[in-house]
Amino acid sequence: MSPDRLPPRWRSDRLLAEEWPRLRGPRVVGDDHGFVVISQHRDGPDVAGYGDDERPARIVADLVAAGELAPPLAWLSLPRTADLPATVCESLAVRPLPGWDWMSVDQPPTPAGPDGVVRLDPVADAEVIRDCLAEANPTTEADPAGRHEGGWWGAWEGDRLAGVIGAGTRLGADGRPQRWHLHGLGVRPSVRARGLGTALMVAATRGGFEAGAPWVSLGVWADNARAIAIYRRLGYHTDHQRRSYRPER
């Protein structure tokens, strides 16, 4: 579906470039200064706002007041410039999550090559990847058997993985994988503070550019200052500061 339906200022935005091809029947409400995209999902409307100041949150509130947006939602995400009022959250049966940042990088990182990091087989190594994630990153939804996986990397410690990272591909307008989004980074507590997380990041980021991605992206909780500092040292910059709202099921 053509991104020409987006307000002109936003047609080259990286986050939207990744999200737009996967949306079903998107409806755009608003303009260059702020807008909301509502698409269809099996669990209800998927709502994402973009823009300046309070405008995206106001659009959502207006849609609720007009009866054009109601629960259950599949998901809701807005800029952190203005939080959705508690009354609107109650009306939509959603609760706010901690803030997160969407970051991207334009070129492979310059640090020395990752020592001891190897590319994994997402089929043959699936169980050991999941075992590592269960301890190193138990809240992640990343899985080696997920759709559109671009690759997984890890570092072995004996017969188990000490740390892992994966990458999901994002489809372009032509329906082919074009961009990479990193996920599932995790290092076991017993081997942290040794630079393994950075080495995994370097390997996965380079893997994306070697596969032809024009950029590589990731999401990170906004309060994870240590991780953000590492990502910035590798060349990542913050494109969006977001807050998601989880539906109450």
Residue 22: its pLDDT value, please?
84
What is the DSSP secondary-structure string of 3-15?
GGGS-GGGTT-HH
**Per-residue pLDDT tens for 39-54?**
999 999 999 999 988 9
Cβ atoms < 10 Å from Cβ of 102: 18
Is the pLDDT reported for residue 1 higher than 70?
Answer: no
pTM of the model: 0.91
Is the pLDDT reported for residue 114 higher than 70?
Answer: no
Which is more confident, 20 or 101? 101
Which is more confident, 93 or 3? 93
Q: Are 42 and 70 in contact (CB under 8 A)?
A: no
| pLDDT band of 112, cuts 50, 70, 90 | low
| pLDDT band of 15, cuts 50, 70, 90 | very high
pLDDT above 70 covers a percentage of the chain that reads 94
Domain 107-214 bears CATH identifier 1.10.150.120? no
SS3 151: strand
Is the pLDDT reported for residue 115 higher than 80?
Answer: no
Domain boundaries, the chain: 3-98, 107-214
d(CA 136, CA 133): 5
Across the chain, mean pLDDT equals 92
What is the DSSP secondary-structure string of 57-114?
HHHHHHHHHTTS--SPPSEEEEETTSPPPHHHHHHHTEEEEEEEEEEEESS---SPPP
Which residue reads 């089929």 in tokens? Answer: 123
Residue 178: its pLDDT value, please?
76
Residue 44: its pLDDT value, please?
94
Mean pLDDT, residues 28-46: 95
**Per-residue pLDDT tens for 189-221?**
999 988 999 999 999 999 999 999 999 999 999
Mean pLDDT, residues 231-235: 95
Is the pLDDT reported for residue 77 higher than 90?
Answer: yes
Residue 147: its pLDDT value, please?
85
Is the pLDDT reported for residue 37 higher than 90?
Answer: yes
Mean pLDDT, residues 173-189: 82
